[in-house]
Amino acid sequence: ADITAAYLDRIDTHADTLNALITRTDAAARERAAALDARADGALAGLPIIHKDIFCTKGVKTSCASRMLDNFIAPYNATVVERLHAAGTVTLGKANMDEFAMGSSNENSFYGAVKNPWNLDFVPGGSSGGSAAAVAAGLAPAATGTDTGGSIRQPAAFCGVTGIKPTYGRVSRYGMIAFASSLDQGGCFARSAEDCAHVLTAMAGFDERDSTSVERDVPDYASQLTGDISGLTIGLPREYFAEGLEAGSREVIDAAIDQMKALGANVVEIDMPHTDLAVSTYYVIAPAEASSNLARFDGVRYGYRCADPVDLDDLYTRSRAEGFGPEVQRRIMMGAYVLSAGYYDAYYLKAQKTRRLIAGDFHDAFAKVDLIAAPVTQAPAFPIGEKADDPVAMYLNDVYTLPASLAGVPGMSVPAGFVDGLPVGLQLIAPWFEEGRLLNAAHSYQ
Ligand code: GLN
C-alpha cells in the first residue's frame, strides 16, 4: 500500500504536466494495494502498473484515445489485464496514446499530446507514448503497451526506458482494441530488461479467446537472465546503418555494440535487402486491416453517436465523421482504397507479397546470427508539432521498427545513451519466440 501511495503521489505531481494518463483509478488502486499487503506472493504482488488505454478494463473507461470511445466503460477485462491482475499488480490508471494506436508521436490523441519527460517540448513517441512517458517519469515501475509497427519500441527509445514487443501470437489480443490484427502485439515497458521479464512472464501465453495466440509454453523469462552473451553472434544489418541514421545516434549505437563485443559477443554485418520495402508495405496492410476493424464503430452498438440523426445513413456518416480524428479517417480511407476492386491486386496483394520477402530476410538472417542489433529510430525525439502536418514524414519515422513487425519477430528497445539530452535506444531483434535470448542480451548490456 505504501508503494502504491508513493506512485500516486508522483502521479499527482507529474501526470498533468506530461498528459500521460487519460483515466486515474486511485481509489480502486489504494483499496486493492491494501488488500494485497496480506498476500505478498510472486514477483509482481503489489506492483503498481499503468495500462495503455487500448486494453479493456472492466468497469473503467477504455477510450483508445478516441472521441468515439470517450463514453465507453469496458464490460470485461482484456486477457493481459486479467493475467497481470491475477499476478498481483495494482492498476493506477490508463495511459494516453495515439488514437486507435495510429501514430508515432502521441499527438493524435483526442485528449491532447503527451510530453516527453526529458524535454517537455518534444514528443514521447507513439503510439504508446503515455505508457513510456509514465515509466520514464517514475509514475509507475511498469506499463503495458501495444506495438503494431513500433509503438512500444519507438516510445521506449524516445523516453529512455526498456520496452519489449514479443513475437506475434505470444500475448493474447483478447480485449485489446484491434488496429491491424495481423500485426498487433501487446508488450510492456519497465526500467530494465529484468523488470520486463517478470511482467512478460505474467502477460504471455495461449488464450483460447484469441485464435492467433500461440499454444506454446511460456518460460520464466527472469530465470533466463544469466547475463552471459559470450559466443552469441549479433548481426548488424547494413540497411539499418545506411543513409538516414543521424550521426549522434549512430555513435551511441556503435558504443552500445562495442560494449556487447566486450562482453564476448561476435558481431558481423548482414544484409536484409528488402528493408526499404517495409514502409510502403506496412502502410498498405495496416490501414487495410484498420478499415475493416474500425467498421464496427457505427454509432449504433456502443461509442459515440451524433446528435439528431435524420436517417440511418446520416447516423453512420456523422457519428464516424465526428467520432474519429483526422489520422484515423486518413487510415480508413487508405485502407478502403487499397482493398477496393481494381486496386486490391495492385496494392493489397502486392503488399502481402512484399511482406513475405521482408519476413524472408529475417529467416535468412537468423540462419546466420542469433540476434540482430540496430537503431530504433534515425534520430532522437522530435519537437511537438514538427511532423504533425506531414503524415508521410511521420510514417517514414518508422523505417527501423516496421520490418520486425511485418515478420512477427520479437524486438526490444534498450536505453543506450543520449544526444543533446534526449535518449537514444538500441533495438535488439530475436528469432520467433526467443524472448528469453532477447531479454538476456538486453540485461547483460544493462
Ligand atoms: N507508427 C505506426 C503507425 O502509425 C505504428 C503504430 C503502432 O505500432 N501501433 O501505424
Is 102's C-beta closer than 6 angstroms to any atom of ligand 1?
Answer: yes
For a mutational test of ligand 1's pocket, the pick from 154, 330, 398, 399, i.e. the residue with the most ligand atoms closer than 8 A to its C-beta, is 398
Span from the CA of 407 to the centroid of ligand 1 (angstroms): 15
Most informative mutation of 151, 285, 294, 394 for ligand 1 (most atoms within 8 A of CB):
151
Distance in Å, CA 65 to ligand 1 centroid: 14
> DSSP labels for 328-376?
HHHHHHHHHHHHSTTTIIIIIIHHHHHHHHHHHHHHHHHHH-SEEEEES
Catalytic residue among 66, 104, 128, 151: 151
Q: ipTM beyond 0.90?
A: yes
- 242 conformational bin, left if phi > 0, alpha if psi -120 to 50, beta if neither: beta
Query: At residue 243, what is the residue type?
Result: E
Atom of ligand 1 nearest to the CA of 286: 10
CA distance 95 to 134: 8
Query: Is there a catalytic annotation at residue 52?
Result: yes
Query: CA 397: distance to chain centroid?
Result: 15
CB 160 within 8 A of CB 125: no
Q: Is 421 left (phi over 0), alpha (psi -120 to 50) or beta?
A: left
Count how many Cα atoms sit within 13 Å of the Cα of residue 119 in the half-sphere of its side chain. 16
* Ligand 1 neighbourhood includes 108 CB (under 6 angstroms): no
In ligand 1, the atom with minimum distance to the C-alpha of 152 is 8
Ligand 1 nearest atom to the CA of residue 183, by list position = 8
What pLDDT tens digit does each residue of the chain (446 aa) get? Answer: 999 999 999 999 999 999 999 999 999 999 999 999 887 678 899 999 999 999 999 999 999 999 999 999 999 999 999 999 999 999 999 999 999 999 999 999 999 999 999 999 999 999 999 999 999 999 999 999 999 999 999 999 999 999 999 999 999 999 999 999 999 999 999 999 999 999 999 999 999 999 999 999 999 999 999 999 999 999 999 999 999 999 999 999 999 999 999 999 999 999 999 999 999 999 999 999 999 999 999 999 999 999 999 999 999 999 999 999 999 999 999 999 999 999 999 999 999 999 999 999 999 999 999 999 999 999 999 999 999 999 999 999 999 999 999 999 999 999 999 999 999 999 999 999 999 999 999 999 88
pLDDT score, position 39: 75
The single residue of 63, 104, 127, 319 carrying the catalytic annotation is 127
Strands (E), 115-219: 142-147, 162-165, 185-190
According to DSSP, the residues that pair with 267 across neighbouring strands are: 234
Q: Does the beta carbon of 127 lie inside 6 Å of ligand 1?
A: yes
CATH architecture of 233-275+362-432: 3-Layer(aba) Sandwich (3.40)
Provide the grid cell at 392: 508521410
Q: Please, what's the largest Cα pairwise distance for the chain?
A: 70
Q: Residues with Cβ < 8 Å from 4, sequence gap 6 or more?
A: 29, 30, 32, 33, 46, 48, 90, 92
* Cβ–Cβ under 8 Å, residues 153 and 135: no
In order of 64, 140, 199, 330, the CA distances from 29 in angstroms are 21, 12, 18, 38
CB neighbour list of residue 234: distance below 8 Å, 6 or more residues apart? 257, 260, 265, 266, 267, 268, 369, 370, 371, 372, 373, 441
Q: Is the CB of 166 under 6 A from ligand 1?
A: no
- Check if the beta carbon of residue 142 is closer than 8 Å to that of residue 190: yes
**Cβ-contact 426, 416 below 8 angstroms:** yes
Any idea where the domains of the chain sit in the sequence? 2-224, 233-275+362-432, 280-345
Say which CATH superfamily domain 2-224 falls into.
Amidase signature (AS) domain (3.90.1300.10)
Distances (CA, A) of 127 to 32, 83, 98, 103, 400: 29, 23, 5, 5, 15
Report which DSSP code applies to 219. Answer: P
Residue 73's DSSP bridge partners are 61
353 counts as catalytic: no
Q: Which three cell numbers stand for residue 129?
A: 507514448
Which grid coordinates belong to 431?
A: 528469432
What number does the ligand 1 atom closest to the CA of 180 have? Answer: 9
